[in-house]
Structure 1
Amino acid sequence: MVWIGNLIETCRSVGITETLVRTAVSRLVAAGRLRGERDGRRSYYRLTADAQTEFAGAAALLYGPAPAARWQFVLINGPAPDEIMQGLERDGFAKLGPRLAMGTHPATHLPERVVVFDATLATQGGALKDFVDEAWNLPRFAAAYDEFLHRFGGFSQRIGDGSSLSPLACLVARLLLVHQYRLIMLREPQLPKSALPAGWPGGEARRVFADLYVRLSEKADGHVGRHFIDGAGRLPERTPAGANRIERLEALRADPI
């Protein structure tokens, strides 16, 4: 749980107004992603159970080792399949037909009328890469990773050990780092290395992400512990989940793939 005033202050530092923050929070509450609580004149918010489950799944991809590919076919039954298909494509699935999609990780948040088949990959080499080239727009993801590396690789070199950054600047930089990385990583198909083209930039982007996250976190977490509050008082600088995240990223920046 966190006080909305902390969200407003943090967002203000990157040019997001209080009005926009409150509008976004209200929409997330209406969508069932956040739950609000009041204590006197202050409003606090936390993730709902469904949003927490989704967050945990995303965190496992962002902060954990690369998952093993688990191939699935998803068949959409019933009327109006387009909305479901669009959601699958946002999650990195390839559209094989109006009602059939394929991905390398479990599909989530699917209605009961959808049928899911687990599949075993029995093909390697050129045929697999030819299929991947047709099914997914890999150049789009490669270009996004290259842009991420250009932006945050340069930032990483400029800040050195981070001593010139304030704790708030470290927190904001870490938030922007996660935001930009997740926009690519949670949407790309998570293909096995054998199916990727030569020179795929995803591994280097993962190393830069892990390295910067770890380097920014001491000051960022310190700012949270000194300034962020819930209904009971100040938030802790470090939680067991946060410590586990740092431990995993330490290993990733040494061996990103």
Structure 2
Amino acid sequence: MDEARAPAHSMQTLVRGLTARRPPRAGSLIVTVFGDVVMPRGGLIATQSILDVLGLLGLTPGLVRTALSRLTSDGMFERSRAGRHSFYRLSDEAWARYEDASAVIYADARPAWDGGWLVVMLVDGPAASTGAADGDESLRRGLTDLGFAKAGPALYLRPANLGQAERRRLDVLLDDRPALLVDGRGGAIPAGFKATVEGTWGLADLARGYDQFARRYGPLATALDRGAPLDDAEALSLRILVIHDYRLLVLKDPRLPPEILPAGWQGEASRLLCRDLYRRVYAASERWVDAHCTGDHGPLPPPGGLVLERFGG
């Protein structure tokens, strides 16, 4: 049966089919749950509640405990105890990283592009004495995370369409670092430039990922539009899966303006699909969390106000 024409009663089958076809990695999925569900509610959650949430997605308690132990050893989580109960929270460093990621994951539409470009030239720095042309490795990695493409041995560039949070990250990244930032207009886009974008920014795998995302979640959006019932547990499952899959894509996306993207690019369509599904299931998913998840003082506190600003509010 064509999933887009699935009857309402098959909604549960569609949701469960997402994990059956492509089981997500436990550790990565746990990070998604903490960032999306737990952080807005104070950041700390009982181990049993984590097991219950991940159990909705078919992950066994043993698999989840093993992943939590590994992530804790890696510095991602901190574990505490109160009597017979144990609890987890993101470490301060992991919390800060996910806050930066959240500004990208839950972003509204990209700012309009005025034709400007940002160019960063790495100059003499810590790596110069070793002969490494790319300069400071952490600086290079930070520029790549912000969507800069390598245009030469020590040159990185991207369109100047960064959001406010991303521009702040760039300013912090370059503060007192061996780099020169040039911010200015680049003139008219030359003929043939768009043909070089996919290779320059390495977009081929990302393009396939967005296409798969649309095929995977489009049928669920259609089913919901046609009145398919969805209980609270299914709503939370769908919310976690859609934000998890979108997170893995958008954090690799240089978020280029449409003026230079290849034809048929599905990045913005995927953002809108993720946003619409997220809004559709949010209230029901929060009811499940209210009823089943606890912290060190009983039920988790209600989500903070920042969650209301996700995807533009």
TM range (shorter): 0.7 to 0.9
Q: Paired residue for 1:189? A: 254
Q: Paired residue for 1:199? A: 264
Pairing 1:1-257 to 2, within 5 Å after superposition: 1-68=44-111, 71-73=118-120, 75=122, 77=125, 78=127, 79=130, 84=138, 89=144, 92-97=147-152, 99-103=154-158, 105=162, 106=166, 115=179, 117-126=181-190, 128-160=193-225, 164-245=229-310, 248-249=312-313
* Kept in 1: contact 2:119–2:155 (CA 8 A): no
Unmatched 5+ stretches in structure 1: 250-257
What is the distance in 2 between the residues matched to 1:98 and 1:15?
47
What is the distance in 2 between the residues matched to 1:62 and 1:90?
13
Deviation at 1:135, TM superposition (A): 0.9
Q: What is the percentage of aligned positions where both structures have the same residue?
A: 32
* Kept in 2: contact 1:93–1:189 (CA 8 A): yes
What is the distance in 2 between the residues matched to 1:55 and 1:162?
34
- List structure 1 segments (4+ residues) > 4 angstroms apart after TM superposition: 79-91, 97-100, 103-114
Q: 1:64 to 1:89 in 2, by over 3 A?
A: closer
What is the distance in 2 between the residues matched to 1:118 and 1:32?
36
* TM-score, scaled to structure 2: 0.68
Deviation at 1:208, TM superposition (A): 0.8
* TM-score, scaled to structure 1: 0.81
Deviation at 1:131, TM superposition (A): 4.5
* Kept in 1: contact 2:149–2:200 (CA 8 A): yes
Q: 1:197 to 1:30 in 2, by over 3 A?
A: same
Q: 1:87 to 1:239 in 2, by over 3 A?
A: closer
Q: 1:122 to 1:103 in 2, by over 3 A?
A: closer
* Kept in 1: contact 2:195–2:262 (CA 8 A): no
User: Does the residue aligned with 1:71 lie in a helix, a strand or coil?
Assistant: strand
What is the distance in 1 between the residues matched to 2:256 and 2:188?
12
* Kept in 2: contact 1:71–1:102 (CA 8 A): yes
Q: 1:113 to 1:125 in 2, by over 3 A?
A: closer
User: Does the residue aligned with 2:184 lie in a helix, a strand or coil?
Assistant: coil
Unmatched 5+ stretches in structure 2: 1-43
What is the distance in 1 between the residues matched to 2:50 and 2:179?
40
* Kept in 1: contact 2:242–2:278 (CA 8 A): yes
**Aligned length in residues:** 248
* Kept in 2: contact 1:125–1:194 (CA 8 A): no
Deviation at 1:33, TM superposition (A): 2.2
Larger Rg: 2
Alpha carbon RMSD of aligned pairs, Å? 3.0
What is the distance in 1 between the residues matched to 2:121 and 2:79?
35
Over residues 230-250 of structure 1, what are the superposed CA-to-partner deviations in whole Å (9 max), with x where a residue is unaligned? 11111245431222327x25x
Q: Paired residue for 1:254? A: none
* Kept in 2: contact 1:162–1:215 (CA 8 A): no
User: Does the residue aligned with 1:15 lie in a helix, a strand or coil?
Assistant: coil
Return the structure number with greater relative CO, CA threshold 8 A, min gap 6.
2
Deviation at 1:206, TM superposition (A): 1.3
* Kept in 2: contact 1:73–1:103 (CA 8 A): no
